[in-house]
Structure 1
């Protein structure tokens, strides 16, 4: 391997370490973000230069091991860890967590539907169930004016108690969606968006068709681990420093080689 090739490989390692540090930093920044999913970096080989193919015949007639030089590393993908976060108790009946597979559907003002595991909801001025951004929780349920109590069942049934009534009155049915491959959903801030790889959203009531159950008065915590993120940060920092050291040493070797040749 030439000195310049060594520097290029080490430089690719620096770039990979910087991307990993970006992902780790974002993970730490969002540890308190309910429903958030931590990311992780898949690293792959950039390529290979074959000087002698493995199995090629040598002058002695034997099959040699071959000489193949790696050309460094690259980031192949940034994956989302879609595992369940811990469910934490809350005091609002409009705060909901999903135990199991599925996403809430939120309708943006432009009519576009986006998906999230964050179930921090409330009532707007028209008594629609909305999230913190004011997006309506699909399919759209309006709570009657003057209600005294509200309950949301594990299967998504929304019921209210009205003045002068002993029994709860049903006012709507919440739905959640699941995807064939949620790990490849696109992401826009707090929201996930469907694409050709994720498959179409499969809409249905909670606790049906493989969908999880709703937990009212609960919120799902971020699924990141500070300990795991710290370990990734330390490893990326070490790799970054080692690759920079290789670049420096290769540069010194190149200067020495130039002096000898000249």
Structure 2
């Protein structure tokens, strides 16, 4: 691969790495946010000359972002006490299943609320799976560690409204981010294993708390600086290679 193309591919890769890291920094205060990391990899030559023991592999094709891996998806990043009864954090593995207009999704953002029908939803209005509703006149709602939602009825009796489930995944890092703190199951993540919080490897629920963002500002700033310096170094290499090529063309003409 010629030096110009090699430098150009590296510049593009480090620019993408900066974008991924900048998104992590922008979500440093987003509850339940799982940061991502751009993994760089050398690109092998697509074609190979010869076969078997006589095969000859040509020089590489520069560097590119080999994968963008989500870090800690489905794992607790840290809890912040809010005291609000419908705020829940998953103290361990798993995500909350919710119903969206595009089907089932999953989230670790546990700032729950009720809509006009008394249905328990996430902050975006997506109903929590299980059709959990608080009747008119309900007060003092609470969520137990096992996900049981209770409330006080008009006559002062404690009643159950349903149970919030937690979904665990064989490979949480394989979940696909949909935005607004939502994730979608993929073949890489495996199917959701829904059930009672605190059982089967699922984290229990902590009421009156929210999960902090998983972004480390210190680590993210270090990554940004390193990516920026690498980008600048390859910019210089690109300019040098371009000047050398132009000089060679001037000599031959």
Q: TM-score, normalised by structure 1?
A: 0.87
SS of the equivalent of 1:142 reads coil
2:82 is the alignment partner of 1:84? no
Q: Which runs of 5+ in 2 are unaligned?
A: none
1:96·1:119 contact (CA, 8 Å) conserved in 2?
yes
Task: For residues 144-187 of structure 1, give each alpha carbon's deviation from its aligned partner in whole angstroms, at most 9, with x where no partner exists.
Answer: 3222312211111112223443x632221111101111101111
SS of the equivalent of 1:259 reads helix
Task: For residues 45-98 of structure 1, give each alpha carbon's deviation from its aligned partner in whole angstroms, at most 9, with x where no partner exists.
Answer: 1114889xxx98xxxxxxxxx996332101111110124211101131111110
* Aligned positions of 1:150-169 closer than 5 A: 150-165=141-156, 168-169=158-159
Matched with 2:85 is 93
How much has 1:260 moved relative to structure 2?
A: 3.0
How much has 1:111 moved relative to structure 2?
A: 6.5
Cα RMSD of the aligned pairs, angstroms, is 2.3
Matched with 1:8 is 5
Q: What number of residue pairs does the alignment pair up? A: 247
SS of the equivalent of 2:37 reads strand
Change (3 A) 1:67 1:98: closer
Task: For residues 213-238 of structure 1, give each alpha carbon's deviation from its aligned partner in whole angstroms, at most 9, with x where no partner exists.
Answer: 10111000110011111011101111
Change (3 A) 1:259 1:41: same
For residues 117 and 21 of structure 1, the distance between their equivalents in structure 2, rounded to whole angstroms, comes to 25
Matched with 1:62 is none
Matched with 1:105 is 97
Matched with 2:42 is 45
For residues 131 and 138 of structure 1, the distance between their equivalents in structure 2, rounded to whole angstroms, comes to 10
SS of the equivalent of 1:235 reads helix
Identify the match of residue 24 of structure 1 among 21, 26, 38: 21
For residues 131 and 57 of structure 2, the distance between their equivalents in structure 1, rounded to whole angstroms, comes to 64
1:13·1:73 contact (CA, 8 Å) conserved in 2?
yes
2:214 is the alignment partner of 1:208? no
For residues 143 and 10 of structure 1, the distance between their equivalents in structure 2, rounded to whole angstroms, comes to 60
For residues 113 and 34 of structure 1, the distance between their equivalents in structure 2, rounded to whole angstroms, comes to 20
Matched with 1:63 is none
Matched with 2:162 is 172
1:85·1:223 contact (CA, 8 Å) conserved in 2?
yes
* Aligned positions of 1:87-236 closer than 5 A: 87-108=79-100, 110=101, 112-165=103-156, 168-189=158-179, 190-236=181-227
How much has 1:203 moved relative to structure 2?
A: 0.8
Q: TM-score, normalised by structure 2?
A: 0.90
SS of the equivalent of 2:20 reads helix
For residues 112 and 259 of structure 1, the distance between their equivalents in structure 2, rounded to whole angstroms, comes to 62
SS of the equivalent of 1:69 reads coil
Q: Which runs of 5+ in 1 are unaligned?
A: 57-65
